[in-house]
Amino acid sequence: MTTVSEHAPNPAAGDPSRPIGFGRIQRKEDPRFVRGRGNYVDDIVLPGMLHGAILRAPVAHARLLSIDASEALAHPKVVAVITGKDLEALNLAWAPTLSADVQAVLVTDKVRFQGQEVAFVVAEDRYAARDALELINVDYEFLPPVIDARKALDDGAPVIRDDLPGRTDNHIFDWEAGDAAETDAIFASADVVVAQELVYPRVHPAPMETCGAVADYDTVDGRLTLYETTQAPHAHRTLYAMVAGIPEHKIRVVSPDIGGGFGNKVGIYPGYILAVVGSIVTGKPVKWVEDRSENLMSTSFARDYIMQGEIAATKEGRILALRTNVLADHGAFNATAQPTKNPAGFFHIFTGSYDLAAAHCKVTGVYTNKAPGGVAYACSFRVTEAVYLVERMVDILARKLEMDPAELRLKNFIKPEQFPYANKTGWVYDSGNYEPAMRLSMEMAGYDELRREQKEKRERGELMGIGISFFTETVGAGPRKHFDIVGLGMADGAELRIHPTGKAVVRISVQSQGQGHETTFAQIVAEELGIPPEDIDVVHGDTDQTPFGLGTYGSRSTPVSGGAVAMVSRKVRDKARFIAAAMLETRAEDLEWEKGRWFVKGDPSAGKTISEIALGAHGTLTLPDGVDGNLDAEVTYDPPNLTFPFGAYICVVDIDPGTGHVKVRRFIAVDDCGTRINPMIIEGQVHGGLTDGVGMALMEMISFDEDGNCLSGSFMDYLIPTAMEVPDWETGFTVTPSPHHPIGAKGIGESATVGSPPAVVNAIVDALAPYGVTHMDMPCTPARVWEAMQGRTRPPV
Partner 1 sequence: MRMNGGEVTRDVEPRVLLVHYIRDVLGLTGTHWGCDTSNCGTCVVLMDGEPVKSCTVLAAMAAGHDIRTVEGLANGATLDPVQQGFMEEHGLQCGFCTPGMMLTARALLDRNPDPDDAEIRQAISGQICRCTGYATIVRSVKWAAKNPLGTDSGTGAAEPGDTPATEDVKA
Which residues lie near partner 1 (CB under 8 A)? 26-27, 29-40, 42-43, 45, 126-127, 206-210, 257-260, 262, 291-292, 513-516, 680-681, 683-684, 686-692, 714-716, 720, 722-724, 726, 728-729
Dihedral sign of CA atoms 342, 347, 351, 352 in order: positive
Distance CA 422, CA 414 (A): 10
Q: Is residue 9 part of the contact set for ligand FES (CB under 6 A)?
A: no
In whole angstroms, the minimum distance from the beta carbon of 208 to partner 1 comes to: 4
256 or 479: CB nearest partner 1 = 256
In whole angstroms, the minimum distance from the beta carbon of 208 to ligand FES comes to: 4
- Among 676, 749, 647, CA closest to 16: 676
Which of the 8 DSSP states describes residue 560? I
In whole angstroms, the minimum distance from the beta carbon of 726 to partner 1 comes to: 6
Q: How many residues bind ligand FES (CB under 6 A)?
A: 3
Distance CA 431, CA 625 (A): 42
43 binds, among partner 1, ligand FES, none (CB under 5 to 8 A by kind): partner 1
14 or 260: CB nearest ligand FES = 260
Q: Are 44 and 214 in contact (CB under 8 A)?
A: yes
513 or 675: CB nearest partner 1 = 513
Q: Is 220 exposed, middle or buried (0-12, 13-18, 19+ CB in 10 A)?
A: exposed
Distance CA 152, CA 149 (A): 5
Residue among 260, 500, 596, 782 that touches ligand FES (CB under 6 A): 260
Distance CA 659, CA 276 (A): 51
Q: Whole-angstrom distance between the N-terminal and C-terminal Cα of the chain?
A: 41
514 or 647: CB nearest ligand FES = 514
Distance CA 380, CA 748 (A): 10
220 binds, among partner 1, ligand FES, none (CB under 5 to 8 A by kind): none
Which of the 8 DSSP states describes residue 10? P
142 binds, among partner 1, ligand FES, none (CB under 5 to 8 A by kind): none
Name the closest residue to ligand FES (Cβ): 208
Residue among 343, 493, 514, 689 that touches ligand FES (CB under 6 A): 514
Write out 611-637 in H/E/C secondary structure.
Answer: HHHHHHHHCCCCCCCCCCCCCEEEEEE
262 or 367: CB nearest ligand FES = 262
517 or 666: CB nearest ligand FES = 517
Q: Are 548 and 741 in contact (CB under 8 A)?
A: no
Say how many residues make up the chain. Answer: 797
722 or 790: CB nearest ligand FES = 722
In whole angstroms, the minimum distance from the beta carbon of 726 to ligand FES comes to: 13
- Among 260, 279, 259, 282, CA closest to 271: 279
In whole angstroms, the minimum distance from the beta carbon of 209 to ligand FES comes to: 8
In whole angstroms, the minimum distance from the beta carbon of 302 to ligand FES comes to: 18
Residue among 45, 65, 89, 208 that touches ligand FES (CB under 6 A): 208
In whole angstroms, the minimum distance from the beta carbon of 290 to ligand FES comes to: 13
36 or 76: CB nearest ligand FES = 36
Write out 374-429 in H/E/C secondary structure.
Answer: CCCCCCCCCHHHHHHHHHHHHHHHHHHHCCCHHHHHHHHECCHHHCCEECCCCCEE
Site for ligand FES in 701-740 (CB under 6 A): none
Q: Are 552 and 546 in contact (CB under 8 A)?
A: no
291 binds, among ligand FES, partner 1, none (CB under 5 to 8 A by kind): partner 1
In whole angstroms, the minimum distance from the beta carbon of 514 to ligand FES comes to: 5
Q: Are 690 and 726 in contact (CB under 8 A)?
A: yes
292 or 480: CB nearest ligand FES = 292
Q: Are 680 and 671 in contact (CB under 8 A)?
A: no
131 binds, among partner 1, ligand FES, none (CB under 5 to 8 A by kind): none
37 or 452: CB nearest partner 1 = 37
Residues that bind ligand FES (CB under 6 A): 208, 260, 514
